[in-house]
Amino acid sequence: MAEGKRQILHIDVNNAFLSWTAMDRLEQGEKIDIREIEAVIGGDESKRSGIVLAKSMKAKQKGVYTGETLFQARLKCPNLQVFKGNYKSYKKHSNDLYKLLLNYTDKIERFSIDECFLDMTNYLGKFDLLEKAYEINKRVKRELGFTVNIGVAHNKLLAKMASDFTKPDRVHTLYEEEIPTKMWPLPVSELFMLGKKTIPKLYDMKIRTIGDLAKQDKRLMIKKFGKHGLLMWEYSNGIDNSEVNYLEEKPKGIGNSVTLPMDINDEEKLAEVLLTLAEQVAYRLRRYNMCAGVVNVQLRTKDFKDFSHQKKLLNVTSNTKDIFNVAKELLKEMYKKGTMIRLVGLRVDKLISKDEVQLSLFNSEEDKKQEKLDRVVDSLKNKYGYNSVTRAGKLHSEDIVKLKDV
DNA sequence: TCTGGGGTCCTAGGACCC
DNA sequence: TCTGGGGTCCTAGGACCC
């Protein structure tokens, strides 16, 4: 490790989906700023995906939280207004933020659509890290029209924890010497990477705060929780040596899944859904110019039990047909007749770049024909939109699975 | 009551090999 | 007659993130 401390910022857009939708609406001439009322961005209840994706401060004050059902949210907040999300718009706002941040450093990791890590270590000049954080905070608000929280620290974990302190529109530091006062008193559930399965186990051990966790014996935590035990012990003590990954990474897997409008127990219909998913997944795969080595099918039963089967391919592929055929085999081997299915998912893993694939030699004439067909369809989709080209006889499954923009 | 969709990483067991 | 141990690959399932 280099001498001296790293200078890290974590930027977190406040109520991202809701703020961005609020801006879009105002731009379209709507009078009400949905940031100022009891509002959420939510899924579609008619498609059985009615959950809260983002909430306004006022909705939060009524106890509404992200991930709960709209039904539950309305119980707590009867006047709740629900708005639809728009992924394309969110992507654009996210890119605007990224471009602004590039003025401060090249070393930006896009952690999600609304979060970035910045490594400012060699980009500060005579400026102070905290000073820069305030400047970024003001500039985003002024130039982009939404607010961000910024965490200021010497590693990613502490910066992320800091940005999660009081919201919105705030800058917080979490330097090493501040850990005992600012982080240790927090409930242990606030620690990054501690989820709802681990928290009850920690409670059983009388661990309530992050400080309680920090005081545990490291070896005991490893013994009880393995790698995850080490990670949570280190995090609770503010230890994190991970780098800001600013280089764009290729995906390791690509998947699409869909909750069906109603539960299905007809294997043929499930296969039709898989065909639609195979087209989406393979199309995205080819857009990355990649091939897949593993195909995975996921089913969720009506009582929320998840199953998955996967299969390694003899030869990597990006053909819609190849992927669909394997998916259909997997469905056949895993589906127990009569089971009511709520969700169908298809994903591909073990991806490699097409440039690294030794094609030609093993490819049959049939494969080449299929690749050519996929290429033609892709170029039409690129030009006229994903839904412009559909397979004959597939319209029925598109009734089941409403095609979305990929 | 109703419970998304897209990811990454880890674990554990079985098969197989030396 | 007794029955190693280490390594790798594959698969199913689970935890966690936003």
pLDDT digits (tens, 9 = 90+) for A323-337: 999 999 999 999 999
Angstrom distance (rounded) from CA A355 to CA A330: 28
A250 strand C contact, CB < 7 Å:
no
CA of A281 to C1' of B10 (A): 25
What is the distance in angstroms measured between the alpha-carbon CA of A356 and the sugar C1' of C7?
Answer: 27
Beta strands in A281-401 (DSSP E): 290-301, 306-317, 341-349, 352-353
A267 is catalytic: no
Give the residue, A406 or A107, on which the prediction is more confident.
A107
The catalytic position among A115, A272, A279, A371 is A115
Nucleotides of C under 7 A from a protein CB: 9-18
Find how far residue A101's CA is from the centre of its chain.
21
Looking at strand B, which nucleotides approach a protein CB closer than 7 A?
1-12
Q: What is the pLDDT of residues A295-331, one digit of tens each?
A: 999 999 999 999 999 999 999 999 999 999 999 999 9
Gap from A276 CA to C8 C1', in Å?
Answer: 36
Residue A311: CB atoms within 10 A of its CB come to 14
> Whole-angstrom Cα distance, residue A107 to residue A120?
7
- Please report, rounded to whole angstroms, the spatial distance between the CA atom of protein residue A85 and the C1' atom of nucleotide B9: 29
Residue A264: phi, psi to the nearest 5?
Answer: -125, 140
Instruction: Answer for A252: CB within 7 Å of strand C.
Output: no
In this prediction, residue A371 carries a pLDDT of 80
Confidence of residue A400 (pLDDT cuts 50, 70, 90): low
pLDDT digits (tens, 9 = 90+) for A345-367: 999 999 999 988 865 455 677 77
- Which nucleotide lies at the shortest CA–C1' distance from A293? C10
pLDDT tens per residue, range A251-291: 999 999 999 999 999 999 999 999 999 999 999 999 999 99
Pick from A290, A275, A309, A406: nearest CA to A350: A290
Residue type, A89: S
Q: Give the residue with minimal CA–C1' separation from C9.
A: A312
What is the C-alpha to C-alpha distance for residues A59 and A80, in angstroms, rounded to an integer? Answer: 7
Full-model pTM: 0.93
What's the pLDDT at A382?
79
Residue A309 Cβ under 7 A from any strand C atom:
yes
